[in-house]
Amino acid sequence: MLNAADLAELKVLLGENGVVASEAALFTYEADALTVARRPPDAVVLPRSTDEVCALVRWARAKKLPVVPRGAGTGLAGGATTEQGGLSLSLNRMDQVLRVDEARMFAWVQPGLVNLWLSQQLAPKKLYFAPDPASQQVSTIGGNVSTNAGGPHCLKYGVTFNHVLGAVVVLADGTAVTLGGEAPDSPGLDLLSVVSGSEGTCAIVTEICVRLLPLPEGVKTLLFDFDSIDAACRTVSRVIAGGIVPAAMEIMDQHTTQLVEDWLHIGLPTDAAAVLLIEVDGPAVTLEPQAQKIAAIAREHGARSERIAKDADERLLLWKGRKSAFGAYGRLASGFTIMDGVVPRTRLAEALANVYKFAAEKQLDAGNVFHAGDGNLHPLVLFDDAIEGQAEHAEEASGAILDLCIEHGGSITGEHGVGIDKAAYMPRMFSDDDLDTMQLVRCAFDPQSISNPGKVFPTPRLCGEVPGRKKGAPPLQEAGLAEVF
Protein backbone atom coordinates (compact mmCIF):
# COMPACT_ATOMS: atom_id res chain seq x y z
CA MET A 1 0.00 0.00 0.00
CA LEU A 2 1.15 3.49 -0.74
CA ASN A 3 1.05 5.98 2.09
CA ALA A 4 0.11 9.64 1.93
CA ALA A 5 3.73 10.71 1.50
CA ASP A 6 4.14 8.37 -1.50
CA LEU A 7 1.02 9.75 -3.14
CA ALA A 8 2.19 13.30 -2.50
CA GLU A 9 5.51 12.48 -4.21
CA LEU A 10 3.68 11.02 -7.20
CA LYS A 11 1.55 14.17 -7.45
CA VAL A 12 4.69 16.28 -7.53
CA LEU A 13 5.83 14.23 -10.53
CA LEU A 14 2.51 14.17 -12.39
CA GLY A 15 0.26 16.90 -11.05
CA GLU A 16 -2.95 16.50 -9.04
CA ASN A 17 -4.88 14.86 -11.93
CA GLY A 18 -2.13 12.41 -12.74
CA VAL A 19 -2.63 10.16 -9.72
CA VAL A 20 -5.70 8.11 -8.85
CA ALA A 21 -5.83 6.21 -5.59
CA SER A 22 -9.35 6.17 -4.15
CA GLU A 23 -10.77 2.71 -3.56
CA ALA A 24 -13.68 3.28 -5.96
CA ALA A 25 -11.39 4.49 -8.75
CA LEU A 26 -8.90 1.66 -8.30
CA PHE A 27 -11.76 -0.79 -8.81
CA THR A 28 -11.84 0.32 -12.48
CA TYR A 29 -8.24 -0.76 -12.96
CA GLU A 30 -8.30 -4.06 -11.11
CA ALA A 31 -8.63 -6.18 -14.28
CA ASP A 32 -8.47 -6.03 -18.04
CA ALA A 33 -10.87 -7.98 -20.26
CA LEU A 34 -9.77 -11.21 -18.54
CA THR A 35 -12.05 -10.38 -15.66
CA VAL A 36 -11.45 -13.57 -13.70
CA ALA A 37 -8.02 -12.24 -12.68
CA ARG A 38 -8.44 -9.22 -10.43
CA ARG A 39 -6.26 -7.21 -8.12
CA PRO A 40 -6.42 -3.44 -7.68
CA PRO A 41 -3.19 -1.49 -8.14
CA ASP A 42 -1.73 0.54 -5.27
CA ALA A 43 -2.21 3.61 -7.45
CA VAL A 44 -2.98 4.53 -11.03
CA VAL A 45 -0.60 7.00 -12.59
CA LEU A 46 -1.34 8.92 -15.78
CA PRO A 47 1.79 10.46 -17.28
CA ARG A 48 1.63 12.95 -20.17
CA SER A 49 5.10 12.55 -21.68
CA THR A 50 8.10 10.25 -22.03
CA ASP A 51 9.90 12.37 -19.42
CA GLU A 52 7.10 11.78 -16.92
CA VAL A 53 7.21 8.03 -17.62
CA CYS A 54 11.00 8.07 -16.99
CA ALA A 55 10.48 9.88 -13.69
CA LEU A 56 7.79 7.44 -12.64
CA VAL A 57 9.87 4.38 -13.43
CA ARG A 58 12.82 5.80 -11.45
CA TRP A 59 10.47 6.48 -8.53
CA ALA A 60 8.95 2.96 -8.66
CA ARG A 61 12.38 1.38 -8.98
CA ALA A 62 13.60 3.12 -5.85
CA LYS A 63 10.54 1.80 -4.01
CA LYS A 64 10.86 -1.68 -5.62
CA LEU A 65 7.28 -1.38 -6.87
CA PRO A 66 6.03 -3.20 -9.97
CA VAL A 67 5.05 -1.01 -12.91
CA VAL A 68 2.29 -2.34 -15.13
CA PRO A 69 1.71 -0.41 -18.36
CA ARG A 70 -1.91 -0.13 -19.42
CA GLY A 71 -3.56 0.99 -22.64
CA ALA A 72 -7.32 0.58 -22.90
CA GLY A 73 -7.39 -2.59 -20.78
CA THR A 74 -9.04 -4.64 -23.55
CA GLY A 75 -6.38 -7.34 -23.30
CA LEU A 76 -7.81 -10.83 -22.98
CA ALA A 77 -4.83 -12.43 -21.23
CA GLY A 78 -4.64 -10.41 -18.00
CA GLY A 79 -1.50 -8.58 -19.19
CA ALA A 80 -2.55 -5.21 -17.78
CA THR A 81 -3.69 -6.58 -14.42
CA THR A 82 -1.59 -5.51 -11.45
CA GLU A 83 -1.24 -9.08 -10.29
CA GLN A 84 1.48 -8.18 -7.78
CA GLY A 85 0.13 -4.73 -6.93
CA GLY A 86 2.22 -1.64 -7.69
CA LEU A 87 1.51 1.09 -10.21
CA SER A 88 -0.96 0.77 -13.04
CA LEU A 89 0.70 3.10 -15.53
CA SER A 90 -2.08 4.27 -17.81
CA LEU A 91 -0.97 5.74 -21.14
CA ASN A 92 -4.42 7.18 -21.87
CA ARG A 93 -3.36 10.82 -21.58
CA MET A 94 -0.66 10.25 -24.22
CA ASP A 95 -3.05 9.92 -27.16
CA GLN A 96 -1.78 12.31 -29.83
CA VAL A 97 -0.60 11.90 -33.40
CA LEU A 98 2.76 13.67 -33.11
CA ARG A 99 3.82 13.91 -36.75
CA VAL A 100 2.73 12.52 -40.11
CA ASP A 101 5.23 12.21 -42.95
CA GLU A 102 2.89 11.77 -45.89
CA ALA A 103 5.64 11.42 -48.50
CA ARG A 104 7.55 8.74 -46.55
CA MET A 105 4.33 7.19 -45.30
CA PHE A 106 4.91 6.99 -41.59
CA ALA A 107 3.59 8.69 -38.47
CA TRP A 108 4.91 9.16 -34.96
CA VAL A 109 2.12 8.58 -32.45
CA GLN A 110 1.75 8.36 -28.71
CA PRO A 111 0.91 4.92 -27.26
CA GLY A 112 -2.48 5.88 -25.80
CA LEU A 113 -3.86 6.78 -29.23
CA VAL A 114 -6.88 4.58 -30.00
CA ASN A 115 -6.15 2.43 -33.06
CA LEU A 116 -9.11 3.56 -35.14
CA TRP A 117 -8.56 7.26 -34.43
CA LEU A 118 -5.30 7.14 -36.38
CA SER A 119 -6.90 5.88 -39.60
CA GLN A 120 -9.79 8.31 -39.11
CA GLN A 121 -7.35 11.23 -38.87
CA LEU A 122 -5.42 9.99 -41.90
CA ALA A 123 -8.45 9.40 -44.14
CA PRO A 124 -8.29 12.85 -45.81
CA LYS A 125 -4.72 12.02 -46.86
CA LYS A 126 -5.92 8.64 -48.24
CA LEU A 127 -3.59 6.79 -45.87
CA TYR A 128 -4.34 4.34 -43.07
CA PHE A 129 -2.84 2.11 -40.37
CA ALA A 130 -3.48 -1.49 -41.41
CA PRO A 131 -3.58 -3.56 -38.16
CA ASP A 132 -7.25 -3.78 -37.24
CA PRO A 133 -7.96 -5.80 -34.09
CA ALA A 134 -11.68 -6.28 -33.60
CA SER A 135 -11.22 -4.04 -30.54
CA GLN A 136 -9.83 -1.19 -32.66
CA GLN A 137 -12.51 1.29 -31.62
CA VAL A 138 -11.14 1.12 -28.07
CA SER A 139 -7.72 -0.52 -27.91
CA THR A 140 -4.61 1.64 -28.11
CA ILE A 141 -1.68 1.49 -30.48
CA GLY A 142 0.68 1.04 -27.50
CA GLY A 143 -1.37 -1.96 -26.40
CA ASN A 144 -1.44 -3.29 -29.98
CA VAL A 145 2.36 -3.02 -30.24
CA SER A 146 2.87 -4.64 -26.85
CA THR A 147 0.63 -7.60 -27.66
CA ASN A 148 1.60 -7.64 -31.35
CA ALA A 149 -2.10 -7.50 -32.11
CA GLY A 150 -3.60 -9.13 -35.15
CA GLY A 151 -6.94 -8.55 -36.79
CA PRO A 152 -9.09 -9.59 -39.73
CA HIS A 153 -6.99 -7.77 -42.35
CA CYS A 154 -3.66 -9.03 -40.97
CA LEU A 155 -4.05 -12.07 -43.27
CA LYS A 156 -2.90 -9.97 -46.21
CA TYR A 157 -1.11 -7.10 -44.48
CA GLY A 158 0.65 -8.73 -41.53
CA VAL A 159 0.30 -8.14 -37.78
CA THR A 160 1.11 -4.97 -35.82
CA PHE A 161 4.82 -5.75 -35.65
CA ASN A 162 5.00 -5.54 -39.46
CA HIS A 163 3.75 -1.95 -39.25
CA VAL A 164 6.11 -0.58 -36.60
CA LEU A 165 9.30 1.05 -37.82
CA GLY A 166 10.58 2.42 -34.53
CA ALA A 167 9.69 3.23 -30.96
CA VAL A 168 10.85 5.28 -28.02
CA VAL A 169 10.79 3.04 -24.96
CA VAL A 170 11.47 3.65 -21.30
CA LEU A 171 13.72 1.02 -19.74
CA ALA A 172 13.51 -0.32 -16.21
CA ASP A 173 16.26 2.09 -15.05
CA GLY A 174 14.15 5.06 -16.13
CA THR A 175 16.10 5.97 -19.26
CA ALA A 176 14.45 6.44 -22.65
CA VAL A 177 15.97 4.94 -25.80
CA THR A 178 14.91 4.80 -29.43
CA LEU A 179 14.70 1.37 -31.05
CA GLY A 180 14.49 1.11 -34.84
CA GLY A 181 13.69 4.37 -36.59
CA GLU A 182 12.16 5.98 -39.64
CA ALA A 183 14.30 4.09 -42.14
CA PRO A 184 12.95 0.73 -43.32
CA ASP A 185 15.80 -1.14 -41.60
CA SER A 186 18.20 -0.48 -38.73
CA PRO A 187 21.60 -2.15 -38.42
CA GLY A 188 22.49 -4.13 -35.30
CA LEU A 189 20.35 -6.39 -33.16
CA ASP A 190 16.65 -5.91 -33.76
CA LEU A 191 15.61 -4.98 -30.22
CA LEU A 192 12.39 -3.45 -31.48
CA SER A 193 11.24 -6.98 -32.30
CA VAL A 194 12.00 -8.05 -28.74
CA VAL A 195 9.90 -5.26 -27.26
CA SER A 196 7.03 -5.75 -29.74
CA GLY A 197 4.72 -8.33 -28.27
CA SER A 198 6.60 -8.46 -24.95
CA GLU A 199 3.44 -7.36 -23.08
CA GLY A 200 5.16 -4.69 -21.04
CA THR A 201 7.72 -7.08 -19.56
CA CYS A 202 10.76 -5.44 -21.19
CA ALA A 203 10.01 -1.72 -21.47
CA ILE A 204 7.27 0.90 -21.65
CA VAL A 205 6.54 2.11 -25.17
CA THR A 206 6.02 5.88 -25.16
CA GLU A 207 6.27 6.90 -28.83
CA ILE A 208 5.76 4.77 -31.91
CA CYS A 209 6.73 5.28 -35.53
CA VAL A 210 4.08 3.40 -37.51
CA ARG A 211 4.12 2.51 -41.17
CA LEU A 212 1.20 3.90 -43.16
CA LEU A 213 -0.37 2.39 -46.25
CA PRO A 214 -2.33 4.02 -49.06
CA LEU A 215 -6.05 3.31 -48.85
CA PRO A 216 -6.83 0.59 -51.38
CA GLU A 217 -8.51 1.89 -54.52
CA GLY A 218 -11.38 -0.52 -54.14
CA VAL A 219 -12.80 -3.15 -51.84
CA LYS A 220 -15.36 -5.93 -52.23
CA THR A 221 -16.94 -7.72 -49.31
CA LEU A 222 -18.66 -11.07 -49.75
CA LEU A 223 -20.61 -13.25 -47.37
CA PHE A 224 -21.21 -16.95 -48.00
CA ASP A 225 -23.18 -19.39 -45.90
CA PHE A 226 -22.75 -23.14 -45.58
CA ASP A 227 -24.52 -26.20 -44.24
CA SER A 228 -21.34 -27.37 -42.53
CA ILE A 229 -18.45 -25.57 -40.87
CA ASP A 230 -16.07 -28.04 -42.58
CA ALA A 231 -17.18 -26.78 -45.99
CA ALA A 232 -16.54 -23.17 -44.94
CA CYS A 233 -13.05 -24.11 -43.69
CA ARG A 234 -12.22 -26.05 -46.84
CA THR A 235 -13.26 -23.05 -48.93
CA VAL A 236 -10.76 -20.91 -47.04
CA SER A 237 -7.84 -23.27 -47.72
CA ARG A 238 -8.84 -23.72 -51.34
CA VAL A 239 -9.07 -19.98 -52.07
CA ILE A 240 -5.56 -19.37 -50.75
CA ALA A 241 -4.17 -22.49 -52.42
CA GLY A 242 -5.71 -21.13 -55.63
CA GLY A 243 -3.41 -18.12 -55.48
CA ILE A 244 -5.73 -15.49 -54.01
CA VAL A 245 -4.82 -13.93 -50.68
CA PRO A 246 -7.90 -11.95 -49.67
CA ALA A 247 -7.55 -9.03 -47.28
CA ALA A 248 -9.64 -10.96 -44.75
CA MET A 249 -11.35 -14.34 -44.29
CA GLU A 250 -13.49 -14.68 -41.17
CA ILE A 251 -15.82 -17.48 -40.08
CA MET A 252 -18.66 -17.39 -37.54
CA ASP A 253 -20.39 -20.63 -36.59
CA GLN A 254 -24.15 -20.95 -36.18
CA HIS A 255 -24.12 -20.23 -32.47
CA THR A 256 -22.23 -16.97 -33.01
CA THR A 257 -24.25 -15.95 -36.07
CA GLN A 258 -27.50 -16.43 -34.16
CA LEU A 259 -26.31 -14.28 -31.25
CA VAL A 260 -25.04 -11.50 -33.52
CA GLU A 261 -28.26 -11.49 -35.57
CA ASP A 262 -30.46 -11.46 -32.45
CA TRP A 263 -28.57 -8.36 -31.34
CA LEU A 264 -27.93 -6.38 -34.52
CA HIS A 265 -30.59 -7.56 -37.03
CA ILE A 266 -28.35 -7.30 -40.07
CA GLY A 267 -29.87 -10.12 -42.10
CA LEU A 268 -27.42 -12.93 -41.31
CA PRO A 269 -28.65 -16.45 -42.19
CA THR A 270 -29.23 -17.97 -38.76
CA ASP A 271 -30.04 -21.44 -40.10
CA ALA A 272 -26.55 -21.79 -41.64
CA ALA A 273 -23.94 -23.93 -39.90
CA ALA A 274 -21.35 -21.25 -40.70
CA VAL A 275 -20.97 -17.92 -42.47
CA LEU A 276 -17.74 -16.95 -44.21
CA LEU A 277 -16.92 -13.28 -44.66
CA ILE A 278 -14.31 -12.60 -47.33
CA GLU A 279 -12.92 -9.24 -48.36
CA VAL A 280 -10.68 -8.49 -51.32
CA ASP A 281 -9.09 -5.10 -51.87
CA GLY A 282 -6.64 -3.42 -54.22
CA PRO A 283 -6.81 -1.90 -57.70
CA ALA A 284 -10.47 -1.65 -58.72
CA VAL A 285 -10.03 -3.69 -61.91
CA THR A 286 -8.76 -6.72 -59.97
CA LEU A 287 -11.72 -7.03 -57.64
CA GLU A 288 -14.46 -8.48 -59.81
CA PRO A 289 -12.31 -11.30 -61.25
CA GLN A 290 -11.13 -12.22 -57.74
CA ALA A 291 -14.67 -12.15 -56.38
CA GLN A 292 -15.88 -14.39 -59.20
CA LYS A 293 -13.09 -16.90 -58.65
CA ILE A 294 -13.79 -16.97 -54.90
CA ALA A 295 -17.54 -17.37 -55.43
CA ALA A 296 -16.92 -20.30 -57.80
CA ILE A 297 -14.74 -22.04 -55.19
CA ALA A 298 -17.31 -21.39 -52.47
CA ARG A 299 -20.10 -22.86 -54.64
CA GLU A 300 -17.92 -25.91 -55.41
CA HIS A 301 -17.66 -26.44 -51.64
CA GLY A 302 -21.41 -26.19 -51.13
CA ALA A 303 -22.05 -22.49 -50.38
CA ARG A 304 -25.83 -22.08 -50.20
CA SER A 305 -25.91 -18.41 -51.11
CA GLU A 306 -23.69 -15.37 -51.45
CA ARG A 307 -24.25 -11.78 -50.45
CA ILE A 308 -22.06 -9.01 -51.85
CA ALA A 309 -22.05 -5.72 -49.95
CA LYS A 310 -23.59 -3.25 -52.38
CA ASP A 311 -22.10 -0.13 -50.81
CA ALA A 312 -19.88 1.13 -47.99
CA ASP A 313 -22.78 1.10 -45.52
CA GLU A 314 -23.56 -2.56 -46.11
CA ARG A 315 -19.86 -3.42 -45.87
CA LEU A 316 -19.67 -1.63 -42.52
CA LEU A 317 -22.75 -3.49 -41.34
CA LEU A 318 -21.26 -6.89 -42.18
CA TRP A 319 -18.03 -5.96 -40.41
CA LYS A 320 -19.98 -4.63 -37.45
CA GLY A 321 -21.55 -8.07 -37.21
CA ARG A 322 -18.16 -9.79 -37.17
CA LYS A 323 -16.57 -7.32 -34.79
CA SER A 324 -19.49 -7.50 -32.35
CA ALA A 325 -19.27 -11.27 -31.97
CA PHE A 326 -17.54 -11.30 -28.56
CA GLY A 327 -19.91 -8.61 -27.33
CA ALA A 328 -22.86 -10.72 -28.48
CA TYR A 329 -21.67 -13.54 -26.22
CA GLY A 330 -21.25 -11.04 -23.41
CA ARG A 331 -24.97 -10.22 -23.59
CA LEU A 332 -25.93 -13.85 -23.16
CA ALA A 333 -23.74 -15.96 -20.98
CA SER A 334 -23.07 -15.40 -17.33
CA GLY A 335 -19.52 -16.53 -18.09
CA PHE A 336 -17.37 -17.72 -20.94
CA THR A 337 -13.74 -18.34 -21.70
CA ILE A 338 -12.24 -17.04 -24.94
CA MET A 339 -9.26 -18.99 -26.20
CA ASP A 340 -6.79 -17.75 -28.77
CA GLY A 341 -4.93 -20.59 -30.45
CA VAL A 342 -3.52 -21.27 -33.88
CA VAL A 343 -3.62 -24.32 -36.10
CA PRO A 344 -2.49 -24.67 -39.71
CA ARG A 345 -5.54 -23.53 -41.71
CA THR A 346 -5.61 -26.89 -43.49
CA ARG A 347 -6.50 -28.48 -40.13
CA LEU A 348 -9.18 -26.01 -39.10
CA ALA A 349 -12.13 -28.36 -39.62
CA GLU A 350 -10.52 -31.12 -37.55
CA ALA A 351 -9.59 -28.71 -34.75
CA LEU A 352 -13.09 -27.24 -34.60
CA ALA A 353 -14.70 -30.68 -34.35
CA ASN A 354 -12.54 -31.26 -31.29
CA VAL A 355 -13.44 -27.88 -29.77
CA TYR A 356 -17.14 -28.84 -29.79
CA LYS A 357 -16.26 -32.32 -28.52
CA PHE A 358 -14.15 -31.06 -25.59
CA ALA A 359 -16.93 -28.70 -24.50
CA ALA A 360 -19.63 -31.37 -24.88
CA GLU A 361 -17.59 -33.78 -22.74
CA LYS A 362 -17.96 -31.21 -19.96
CA GLN A 363 -21.68 -30.70 -20.76
CA LEU A 364 -20.95 -27.18 -21.95
CA ASP A 365 -21.74 -25.23 -25.12
CA ALA A 366 -19.04 -23.82 -27.38
CA GLY A 367 -19.12 -21.20 -30.10
CA ASN A 368 -16.52 -20.22 -32.66
CA VAL A 369 -15.63 -17.01 -34.44
CA PHE A 370 -12.21 -16.82 -35.96
CA HIS A 371 -9.62 -15.42 -38.35
CA ALA A 372 -9.93 -18.42 -40.67
CA GLY A 373 -7.30 -17.34 -43.18
CA ASP A 374 -4.65 -17.34 -40.44
CA GLY A 375 -5.90 -20.52 -38.75
CA ASN A 376 -6.37 -18.34 -35.66
CA LEU A 377 -9.16 -19.85 -33.57
CA HIS A 378 -11.14 -18.06 -30.85
CA PRO A 379 -13.23 -20.81 -29.27
CA LEU A 380 -15.66 -19.60 -26.62
CA VAL A 381 -16.69 -22.09 -23.95
CA LEU A 382 -19.82 -20.96 -22.13
CA PHE A 383 -20.60 -21.63 -18.51
CA ASP A 384 -23.03 -20.56 -15.83
CA ASP A 385 -21.21 -18.92 -12.98
CA ALA A 386 -24.04 -19.86 -10.61
CA ILE A 387 -23.44 -23.59 -11.16
CA GLU A 388 -20.58 -24.84 -9.06
CA GLY A 389 -17.71 -26.34 -11.01
CA GLN A 390 -18.79 -25.12 -14.46
CA ALA A 391 -16.16 -22.38 -14.68
CA GLU A 392 -13.44 -24.96 -13.89
CA HIS A 393 -14.85 -27.31 -16.52
CA ALA A 394 -14.73 -24.51 -19.08
CA GLU A 395 -11.09 -23.87 -18.15
CA GLU A 396 -10.28 -27.55 -18.57
CA ALA A 397 -11.95 -27.67 -21.99
CA SER A 398 -10.03 -24.54 -23.00
CA GLY A 399 -6.75 -26.09 -21.85
CA ALA A 400 -7.45 -29.17 -23.93
CA ILE A 401 -8.03 -26.91 -26.94
CA LEU A 402 -4.61 -25.30 -26.48
CA ASP A 403 -2.94 -28.70 -26.20
CA LEU A 404 -4.63 -29.60 -29.45
CA CYS A 405 -3.26 -26.45 -31.13
CA ILE A 406 0.27 -27.45 -30.07
CA GLU A 407 -0.27 -31.03 -31.30
CA HIS A 408 -1.36 -29.68 -34.66
CA GLY A 409 1.89 -27.69 -34.97
CA GLY A 410 0.21 -24.39 -34.08
CA SER A 411 0.54 -22.02 -31.13
CA ILE A 412 -1.07 -21.22 -27.77
CA THR A 413 -1.71 -17.66 -28.91
CA GLY A 414 -2.26 -16.06 -32.26
CA GLU A 415 -2.70 -12.49 -31.08
CA HIS A 416 -4.05 -11.98 -27.57
CA GLY A 417 -0.74 -12.69 -25.88
CA VAL A 418 0.22 -14.80 -22.89
CA GLY A 419 -0.27 -12.48 -19.91
CA ILE A 420 -1.34 -14.33 -16.80
CA ASP A 421 -3.77 -16.52 -18.63
CA LYS A 422 -1.37 -18.64 -20.63
CA ALA A 423 1.87 -18.41 -18.67
CA ALA A 424 1.28 -21.92 -17.38
CA TYR A 425 1.04 -23.20 -20.95
CA MET A 426 4.41 -21.82 -22.04
CA PRO A 427 6.34 -24.97 -20.95
CA ARG A 428 4.00 -27.05 -23.08
CA MET A 429 5.20 -25.19 -26.14
CA PHE A 430 8.78 -24.28 -25.19
CA SER A 431 11.62 -26.28 -23.66
CA ASP A 432 13.40 -25.22 -20.47
CA ASP A 433 16.26 -23.93 -22.61
CA ASP A 434 13.89 -21.85 -24.73
CA LEU A 435 12.34 -20.31 -21.63
CA ASP A 436 15.72 -19.67 -20.01
CA THR A 437 16.93 -17.91 -23.12
CA MET A 438 13.83 -15.71 -23.17
CA GLN A 439 14.36 -14.91 -19.49
CA LEU A 440 18.00 -13.97 -20.12
CA VAL A 441 16.84 -11.43 -22.68
CA ARG A 442 14.07 -10.16 -20.47
CA CYS A 443 16.46 -9.81 -17.50
CA ALA A 444 18.88 -7.83 -19.68
CA PHE A 445 16.10 -5.25 -20.05
CA ASP A 446 14.78 -5.48 -16.54
CA PRO A 447 17.19 -7.06 -14.01
CA GLN A 448 15.03 -6.16 -11.00
CA SER A 449 11.85 -7.55 -12.56
CA ILE A 450 9.74 -4.45 -12.00
CA SER A 451 8.32 -4.28 -15.55
CA ASN A 452 5.02 -6.12 -15.41
CA PRO A 453 6.29 -8.99 -13.24
CA GLY A 454 4.44 -12.29 -13.14
CA LYS A 455 3.38 -12.13 -16.79
CA VAL A 456 4.23 -14.32 -19.77
CA PHE A 457 6.81 -16.52 -18.03
CA PRO A 458 5.74 -19.43 -15.87
CA THR A 459 6.69 -19.26 -12.22
CA PRO A 460 9.18 -19.67 -10.68
CA ARG A 461 11.52 -18.61 -13.49
CA LEU A 462 12.25 -15.18 -12.16
CA CYS A 463 15.17 -12.86 -12.64
CA GLY A 464 17.83 -13.84 -10.16
CA GLU A 465 17.61 -17.49 -11.07
CA VAL A 466 20.52 -18.38 -13.24
CA PRO A 467 19.25 -19.56 -16.61
CA GLY A 468 20.75 -22.76 -17.93
CA ARG A 469 20.26 -26.45 -17.50
CA LYS A 470 18.64 -27.15 -14.14
CA LYS A 471 20.29 -29.72 -11.89
CA GLY A 472 17.55 -29.91 -9.30
CA ALA A 473 14.35 -28.15 -8.43
CA PRO A 474 14.60 -24.35 -8.77
CA PRO A 475 15.45 -22.70 -5.44
CA LEU A 476 12.08 -20.99 -5.10
CA GLN A 477 10.33 -24.28 -5.59
CA GLU A 478 12.58 -26.02 -3.08
CA ALA A 479 11.80 -23.31 -0.56
CA GLY A 480 8.09 -23.93 -1.11
CA LEU A 481 7.59 -20.40 -2.38
CA ALA A 482 6.53 -21.24 -5.93
CA GLU A 483 5.33 -24.17 -7.93
CA VAL A 484 6.25 -25.29 -11.41
CA PHE A 485 3.31 -25.66 -13.76
For position 76 contacting ligand FAD by CB under 6 A, the verdict is: yes
For ligand FAD, the binding residue among 166, 200, 373, 454 (CB under 6 A) is 200
CB of 141 to ligand FAD, least distance (A): 8
Stretch that binds ligand FAD, among 9-17, 19-27, 69-77, 379-387 (CB under 6 A): 69-77
Task: Give the up-direction half-sphere exposure of residue 485: CA atoms within 13 A in the CB hemisphere.
Answer: 18
Considering the rule CB under 6 A, would residue 146 count as an interface residue with ligand FAD?
yes
Give all strands (DSSP E) within 343-406, no chain letters. Answer: 365-371, 376-377, 379-383
Closest approach of ligand FAD to the CB of residue 336, in Å: 12
Q: CA 476: distance to chain centroid?
A: 31
Minimum distance from residue 211 beta carbon to ligand FAD (Å): 17
Max CA-CA distance within the chain?
71
Which residue number, 47 or 399, has a Cβ lying nearer to ligand FAD?
A: 47
Site membership for ligand FAD, residue 74 (CB under 6 A): yes
Nearest to 399 by CA among 354, 438, 363: 354
Burial class (CB in 10 A: 0-12, 13-18, 19+), 159: buried
Least separation in angstroms between residue 212's CB and ligand FAD is 19
User: Quick one: 133 or 269, whose CB is closer to ligand FAD?
Assistant: 133
Query: Least CB distance from residue 414 to ligand FAD, whole Å?
Result: 8
Q: Which of 2, 10, 68, 351 binds ligand FAD (CB under 6 A)?
A: 68
Q: Which stretch binds ligand FAD (CB under 6 A): 22-30, 144-152, 237-245, 391-399?
A: 144-152
Q: Decide whether 230 or 250 has the Cβ nearer to ligand FAD.
A: 250
Which residue among 147, 398, 413, 439 contacts ligand FAD (CB under 6 A)? 147
In whole angstroms, what is the distance from residue 417 CA to residue 77 CA? 6
Q: Is 184 exposed, middle or buried (0-12, 13-18, 19+ CB in 10 A)?
A: exposed
- Angstrom distance (rounded) from CA 483 to CA 485: 6
The whole-angstrom separation of Cα 485 and Cα 230 is: 35
Phi, psi angle pair for 409, to nearest 5°: 85, 25
Residue 60: exposure state from Cβ atoms within 10 A (0-12, 13-18, ≥19) = buried
Determine which residue in the list 144, 221, 235, 237 makes contact with ligand FAD, applying CB under 6 A: 144
Reference 95, options 81, 74, 80, 116; nearest CA is 116
Cα angle: 284, vertex 290, 294; to 5 degrees: 145
Rounded-to-integer distance, Cα 177 and Cα 122, Å? 27
In the complex with ligand FAD, the residue whose CB is nearer, 76 or 397, is: 76
For ligand FAD, the binding residues in 363-422 under the rule CB under 6 A are 415-417, 419
For ligand FAD, the binding residue among 151, 246, 410, 453 (CB under 6 A) is: 151
- What does residue 377 show for φ and ψ, rounded to 5 degrees? -85, 145
Answer yes or no whether residue 254 interacts with ligand FAD by CB under 6 A.
Answer: no
CB of 242 to ligand FAD, least distance (A): 26
143 binds ligand FAD, rule: CB under 6 A: yes
Q: Which is nearer to ligand FAD, 21 or 155 (CB)?
A: 155
CA distances from 358 to 340, 367, 398 (A): 16, 12, 8
Please list every residue from 120 through 139 that binds ligand FAD, using CB under 6 A. 133-135, 139
Compare residues 143 and 375 and give the one whose CB is closer to ligand FAD. 143
Q: Please tell me whether residue 41 binds ligand FAD under the rule CB under 6 A.
A: no
142 is a site residue for ligand FAD (CB under 6 A)? yes
Spatial distance between the Cα atoms of 227 and 232, rounded to a whole number of angstroms? 9
Q: Does 352 bind ligand FAD (CB under 6 A)?
A: no
What residues make contact with ligand FAD under the rule CB under 6 A?
32-33, 68-76, 79-80, 91, 111, 133-135, 139-140, 142-144, 146-147, 149-151, 199-200, 204-205, 326, 415-417, 419, 452
